[in-house]
Amino acid sequence: MRVVQVEVSTRCQLRCVMCPHTIFSGEWINEDMDFETFKRIPFDRFDLAHLQGWGEPLLNPRIEEMIDLAKRNCRVGLTTNGLLIDEVNVGKLDYLAVSIASAREDRHREIRKTSLEEILAKVENVSSKVDVTFVFMMMKDTYEELPNVVELAKKVGAKSVIANNLDYVPSKELEDQAVFLRKVDYKPIELAKVKAKELGINLIVKSVEMGEVLVCAENPIDNVLITHNGLMTPCVYLHLPTKSEKIKRVFMGRELEVEKVYFGRFDDEESWRMYRDFGSVFERRRSILWSLFPSNIPPLPDCCKTCYKAYGV
Binding region for ligand SF4 (CB under 6 A) = 12, 14-16, 19, 21-22, 55-56, 81, 99, 216, 218, 220, 234-235, 237-238, 303-304, 307, 309-310
**Smaller CB distance to ligand SF4: residue 196 or 240?**
240
DSSP readout, 28-53?
Answer: B---BPPHHHHHTS-GGG-SEEE--S
**Smaller CB distance to ligand SF4: residue 123 or 216?**
216
Phi, psi of 39 (to 5 degrees): -60, -30
Q: CB of 13: closest distance to ligand SF4 in angstroms?
A: 7
Report H helices in 143-268: 146-156, 172-175, 187-199
Report H helices in 24-158: 35-39, 63-71, 105-112, 116-126, 146-156
Q: CB of 159: closest distance to ligand SF4 in angstroms?
A: 21
**Smaller CB distance to ligand SF4: residue 55 or 77?**
55
**How far is Cα 7 from Cα 53, in angstroms, rounded to an integer?**
4
Q: Kindly list the strands in the beta sheet with 232-233, ordered across the sheet, starting from the edge strand earlier in the chain.
A: 202-205, 160-165, 132-138, 95-100, 75-80, 48-50, 3-6, 223-226, 232-233
Q: CB of 193: closest distance to ligand SF4 in angstroms?
A: 26
Indicate the SS3 state at residue 223. strand
Q: CB of 166: closest distance to ligand SF4 in angstroms?
A: 11
Residue 118's contacts (CB-CB under 8 Å, 6 or more residues apart) are 83
